[in-house]
Amino acid sequence: MAKAEKIEIIEKWCKGCEICVEFCPTGAIEMRDFKVAIKDLEKCTACMQCELRCPDFAIIVYKKEKE
């Protein structure tokens, strides 16, 4: 299964709408102080739903290259 190498969050742009958290199928991200935060990077399957649906350009998922 694909894994994420890094999830970049641009906190300055995040408005805390929770769309990314609600669409995440594995619970890899959560809300912390009204902003999105990484809960467990290991859980991320790099499905890109959060990146695709973020209205604020605030979350970027970097896919891990196959070893």
Partner 1 sequence: MSYDYAKYLRKGKLPHIWCAGCSYGIVLKSLIRAIDSLQWDKNDVAIVSGIGCASRLPGYVDFNTLHTTHGRSIAFATGLKLANPKLNVLAMGGDGDMTAIGGNHFIHACRRNLDITIFVFNNNIYGMTGAQYSPTTPKGAWATTSPYGMAENNFNITDLAIGAGATYVARTTAYHVAHCEKTMKEAFLHKGTSVVEIINSCPTGFGRKNKFKTPASMLMWMKDNAVNIEKAKNMSPEELAGKFIIGVLHKVERPEYLETYDATVGLKK
Residues that bind partner 1 (CB under 8 A): 12-13, 15-19, 22-23, 48, 51-58, 60-63
List for the chain the helix, strand, coil content (%; round to 5): 20, 30, 50
Residue 46: exposure state from Cβ atoms within 10 A (0-12, 13-18, ≥19): middle
Taking the complex as a whole, the smallest distance from the CB of residue 1 to partner 1 amounts, in Å, to 17
